[in-house]
Amino acid sequence: MSDILAFDLGASSGRALLGRLTDGKIEVEELHRFSNDPVQVGDRLYWDILRLYHEIKQGLLKAKHQGISLHSMGIDSWAVDFGFIGKNGELIGNPYHYRDRHTEGAMESLFTRIPPHVIFARTGIQFLPFNTIYQLYALKEAKSPLLKDGNRFLMIPDILRYFLTGEMHNEFSNATTTQLFNPIEGTWDSELLRLLDLPRSWFGDVLQPGEKAGSIQPSVCEELGIPSIPVYAVAEHDTGSAVAAVPATEKSFAYLSCGTWSLMGTEVDKPVLHDLALKLNFTNEGGVADTYRLLKNIMGLWILQECRREWERAGESYSFPELVQMASGAKSFAAFIDPDDSLFLPPGDMPSRIAQYCQQTGQQAPETTGEIVRCILESLALKYRQVFELTERLSGQSFNGLHMVGGGIQNTLLCQWTANAIGKSVWAGPSEGSAIGNLVVQWIARGEFADIWEARRAIRESFPITVYEPEESEAWNAAYIRFLTITGVTE
Ligand code: LFR
Write out the DSSP string of 401-420. EEEEESGGGG-HHHHHHHHH
Q: How far is CA 377 from CA 104, 117, 259, 303, 421, in A?
A: 27, 33, 13, 10, 11
pLDDT at 491: 64
Cα angle, residue 316 at apex, residues 312 and 317 outer, rounded to 5°: 65
Question: Cis peptide before 339, with omega less than 30 degrees from 0?
Answer: no
CA atoms within 13 A on the CB side of 448: 24
Fold of domain 246-429+450-491: Nucleotidyltransferase; domain 5 (3.30.420)
pLDDT at 490: 66
**Could you tell me the sign of the dihedral formed by the alpha carbons of 172, 46, 168, 131, in that order?**
positive
**Residue 282 near ligand 1, beta carbon < 6 Å:** no
- What CA–CA distance (Å, rounded) separates 439 from 460? 14
pLDDT at 482: 98
Q: Is 269 assigned a catalytic role?
A: no
Of all protein residues, whose CA lies closest to atom 12 belonging to ligand 1? 79
* Residue ranges of the chain whose pLDDT lies below 50: none
Task: Return the ligand 1 atom nearest residue 80 CA.
Answer: 12
77, 128, 171, 238: residue to mutate for ligand 1 pocket, most atoms within 8 A of CB:
238
- What CA–CA distance (Å, rounded) separates 352 from 303? 11
Q: How far is CA 387 from CA 82, 403, 418, 443, in A?
A: 29, 14, 12, 33
Angle between helices 320-329 and 412-422 (to 10 degrees): 50
Q: Annotated catalytic residue: which of 76, 81, 158, 238? A: 238
Go through 25-39 and write b for each residue having 16 or more CB atoms within 10 A of its CB, e for each that does not.
ebebeebbebebebe
56 contacts 229 by C-beta, under 8 angstroms: no
What tens digit of pLDDT does each residue of 90-124 get? Answer: 999 999 999 999 999 999 999 999 999 999 999 99
Cα angle, residue 293 at apex, residues 77 and 270 outer, rounded to 5°: 135
Whether this model's pTM surpasses 0.90: yes
Coil, helix or strand at residue 218: helix
Instruction: Give the contacts of 106 (CB within 8 A, at least 6 positions apart).
Output: 129, 134, 135, 137, 138, 141
- Residues of each domain in the chain carrying CATH 3.30.420.40: 2-238, 246-429+450-491
Cα angle, residue 390 at apex, residues 486 and 235 outer, rounded to 5°: 120
Kind and range of the H or E element at 369? helix 369-395
| Nearest Cα to Cα of residue 152 among 91, 232, 94 | 91
pLDDT at 489: 74
Q: How far is CA 120 from CA 312, 380, 396, in A?
A: 41, 27, 20
Q: Where are the beta strands (DSSP E) in 23-161?
A: 25-35, 39-41, 44-46, 72-77, 82-86, 91-92, 150-155
Strand order in the sheet with 150-155: 91-92, 82-86, 150-155
- Count other C-beta atoms under 10 Å from residue 363's C-beta: 17
**Could you tell me the sign of the dihedral formed by the alpha carbons of 114, 118, 124, 128, in that order?**
positive
**Residue 386 near ligand 1, beta carbon < 6 Å:** no
pLDDT at 2: 83
How far does CA 165 lie from the centroid of its chain? 25
Identify the CATH homologous superfamily for domain 2-238.
Answer: ATPase, nucleotide binding domain (3.30.420.40)
Q: How far is CA 43 from CA 16, 224, 302, in A?
A: 32, 36, 21
**Residue 449 near ligand 1, beta carbon < 6 Å:** no
**Residue 263 near ligand 1, beta carbon < 6 Å:** yes
